C-alpha cells in the first residue's frame, strides 16, 4: 500500500486512465431533477437521504427546489476530475488526510494552504460532519475542544468516524487509507 502521493505517482505497476469527472457512488445513478421533498427517501441512497432529512418539513423548511440545489452542491463536493492529484475533491482530500485516525485541526492537516482555502476546508468539514464521517471533538460537558492554531486563534479539532473509511473505499480510494480503525482491522 502506498504511503504517500509520490509513491503512487512513481509506481510503474499502476496504470491511470484519463477519463472525465468521477462521481461519488452516491450520485452515479441519481437524476437530481427527479428528486422531490415527497420522494427523496425512495430516490436517494440511504446515507444521502439521512443527510438531507433534517432539512425536509416538518423539521426543516426545504422545498423541492431547495433540496435539488443542496444536492447539486453536495455533488460538487463529491465530484472529482480526471487528474489523480489535483482532481481529488476537497471532501476526498479531507477524507484521506483524516484516514490516519488522528484527531487534528485543519491547520495541522494543511499547514501551507491559504486562509481562504482553510475556510473552504472548514465548510467541507461541516458537510462531512452532517454526513457522519467526521465529528468535532467535545469535552465531557459537550463543549467544543479547541487548541491554539497557526495564526494564534483557537481552532476546532476534528475526529474521523467509521463512515469516512467506508466512503473512501466505495469511491475507489481505499488504497489511500492510512490506518484502518480498530473495529475495521
pLDDT tier, 86 (very low <50, low <70, confident <90, very high otherwise): low
Q: How far apart are CA 57 and CA 63, in angstroms?
A: 8
pLDDT > 70 in the chain, percent: 79
DSSP β-bridge partners for residue 158: 104, 136
Per DSSP, the residues of 4-54 read: SHHHHHH-TT------SPBPPTTTTT--GGG--TTTHHHHS-HHHHHHHGG
Over residues 104-119, the pLDDT tens digits come to 999 899 888 888 888 8
Q: Nearest Cα to 157, choosing from 128, 141, 130, 135?
A: 135
Over residues 54-82, the pLDDT tens digits come to 999 988 899 999 999 999 888 877 765 44
> Is 0.85 topped by the overall pTM?
no
Amino acid at each position: 500500500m502506498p504511503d504517500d502521493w509520490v509513491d503512487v505517482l512513481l509506481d510503474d505497476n499502476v496504470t491511470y486512465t484519463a477519463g472525465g469527472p468521477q462521481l461519488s457512488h452516491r450520485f452515479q445513478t441519481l437524476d437530481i431533477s427527479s428528486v422531490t421533498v415527497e420522494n427523496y427517501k425512495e430516490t436517494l441512497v440511504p446515507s444521502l437521504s439521512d443527510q438531507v432529512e433534517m432539512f425536509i418539513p416538518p423539521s426543516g423548511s426545504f422545498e423541492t427546489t431547495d433540496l435539488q440545489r443542496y444536492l447539486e452542491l453536495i455533488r460538487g463536493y463529491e465530484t472529482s476530475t480526471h487528474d489523480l492529484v489535483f482532481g481529488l475533491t476537497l471532501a476526498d482530500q479531507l477524507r484521506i488526510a483524516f484516514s490516519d485516525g488522528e484527531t487534528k485541526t485543519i491547520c495541522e492537516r494543511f499547514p501551507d494552504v491559504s486562509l481562504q482555502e482553510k475556510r473552504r476546508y472548514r465548510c467541507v468539514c461541516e458537510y462531512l460532519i452532517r454526513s457522519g464521517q467526521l465529528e468535532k471533538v467535545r469535552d465531557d460537558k459537550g463543549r467544543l475542544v479547541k487548541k491554539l492554531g497557526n495564526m494564534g486563534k483557537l481552532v476546532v479539532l476534528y475526529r474521523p468516524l467509521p463512515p469516512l473509511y467506508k466512503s473512501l473505499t466505495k469511491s475507489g480510494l481505499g488504497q489511500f487509507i492510512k490506518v484502518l480503525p480498530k473495529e475495521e482491522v
